[in-house]
Amino acid sequence: MRFIPSLVTMAALSGLAATSTVSQGAHGPSSSCRQVSFALPATSENVVFTNPPDPNNTTAIVSFLRAVWGGTIPANFSSATTTISGTFTLTGLYCTPSRLTASTPLEILVHGVSHNASIWSGLDFSPTGYYSWHKYANTRGYATLAIDRLGHGRAPTHPDPFSINQPSLQLELIHQLFSAVRTTGSPLNHAFSKVVYIGHSYGSFTGVNMARLHPSDLTALVLTGFSAAPDFSSAINADWVSAADFDPARFPGQPKGYLTFSSPSAQTQFYGGSYDPAMPGWEHTYEDTISAGEILAGTGDVGSPATAYTGPLLVATGANDIIFCGADKTPAECDAIVAGSNVLFPNVPDARRGVKGGFEYFTVKGTGHNFMLHYSAPVAFRRVHDWLDRTL
C-alpha cells in the first residue's frame, strides 16, 4: 500500500498550513488542467552516425549504446550532418491557477530520461497531490505546462530513434514552443509574457542549450536534478531493453531504438534519503523511454558555456543525487558541486554578491535525483517558487 504522508508531516515538511497542501484530486481546487498538443515546425542539423547497430537487434543496440556512452569506443559520428525539417507534435498537460492574468508567469516543465510529463504530477502517486509540481505552482499563482518531449508520453508518433529523435531537434521544437505560448493563437488561448524554463535531469541539459542558443527565450532558467559534473556510470550499466520488446501493450509498434528499464531496480538509482519505499516500483509501472539518438548524440554541446545568457538562474538538486553529486559524496560536498554549476554560465552574476536575478542554488537534504518524488517535495517546490517570486 502506498504511504500518504499525514497532514502533520506535510505541514512540517513544507512550512505551509495543512489546508494549503491538501486538496481534492491530484492537482487541487486551485488548478484547472487539460491536455494540449502543439503542431510545431522545426529544422535542425542532426548528426550522422557511422556504423550504427542493426536497428532491429535489441542486443546490438544496447551494447553499442553502452560502449559509446561509457567512452570505451569513440562516438561513431561522421563529420557530416543531415538536415531534419518538418512539423512535429508536442503534447503536454497545461494547468492554470484560479486567477489567470496578463502578468501570470508560465512555467514550461521538461522531463528527463525514462519519464514523461507525468513526473511533474508526481506520477499521481498521492491523491492529495502531495508530489504534484502543478498543484503547488498553481497555488502560488503560476501557470504550468509540462510537455512530453518528442516521441515520449502521449506523443502521437515516434520518429526514427537514431536519425531524427536527437537533442538538436528537441531543442528547436522547444524553442518554437516558447514562441508559440507568447501568442494568443496557441492551444493555451493566452499570451504569456513571462516564460520560465524548468528542466529536470536530461531536461536540464536541454535548458543549458536553450540558454546557449536561444537566451532571449528565457525569462528565467531553473535546472533541477543537475550539476556541471555528472556521473552516468549507474545509468550506463542499467538494465536497458527495447520498450516494444519489454512491454508491447504499453509501447506498441515503437522502433527498437526506444529503450526503457526492464526491472524496478533500475529506478532505485533515482532515489536516496527519505522516500516512500513503494515509489520506485510505482515509477517503474509508469516509466517511459529514451531514444537511441538522445543517448548517441548526447545532450548537445552542453560542455560549451552559455555565454550569451545573463538572466536569472537557479540550480536545485537533491543532496543524495548519485548521478549529479556522486554516490560517495557528503551533503556538504554535493552542495559544493552544485554551486559550481555556474561554470556553464560565465556571464550570469552571482546572487551571493547581492545581485538580484543572478545565479543561486540549493540542495535538498535527504533527497535523491528525482527530488519531486521524495518526502521533501513540498520543501523543494517552496524554495523554487520563493526564488521565482523574488526574481520575476
What digits encode the pLDDT tens for the residues 76-108? 555 678 999 999 999 999 999 999 999 999 999
Total count of residues recorded for the chain: 392
Q: Can you give the pLDDT of all 392 residues of the chain as single tens digits?
A: 343 443 223 333 333 322 223 233 455 455 699 999 999 999 999 988 877 889 999 999 998 888 877 766 655 555 678 999 999 999 999 999 999 999 999 999 999 999 999 999 999 999 999 999 999 999 999 999 999 999 999 999 999 999 999 999 999 999 999 999 999 999 999 999 999 999 999 999 999 999 999 999 999 999 999 999 998 877 778 889 999 999 999 999 999 999 999 988 888 889 999 999 999 999 999 999 999 888 877 644 556 899 999 999 999 999 999 999 988 899 999 999 999 999 999 999 987 766 677 999 999 999 999 999 999 999 999 999 999 999 99
CB 73 within 8 A of CB 67: yes
Please tell me the distance from the alpha carbon of residue 392 to that of residue 389, in angstroms, as a whole number: 6
Residue 264: what residue type?
A: P
Q: State pLDDT tens for residues 338-379.
A: 999 999 999 999 877 666 779 999 999 999 999 999 999 999
List the one residue out of 143, 196, 147 whose CA is nearest residue 170: 147
Q: Output DSSP code: residue 173.
A: H
Please tell me the distance from the alpha carbon of residue 165 to that of residue 167, in angstroms, as a whole number: 7
| 25: region left, alpha or beta (phi > 0 left; psi from -120 to 50 alpha) | left
What domains are there in the chain, each with its CATH number?
Answer: 7-391 (3.40.50.1820)
* pTM: predicted TM-score of the whole model, two decimal places: 0.91
Which single residue is written with the C-alpha cell 516494444?
Answer: 244
Please tell me the distance from the alpha carbon of residue 277 to that of residue 280, in angstroms, as a whole number: 7
CB 169 within 8 A of CB 201: no
Q: Is the dihedral of CA 23, 29, 30, 35 positive or negative?
A: positive
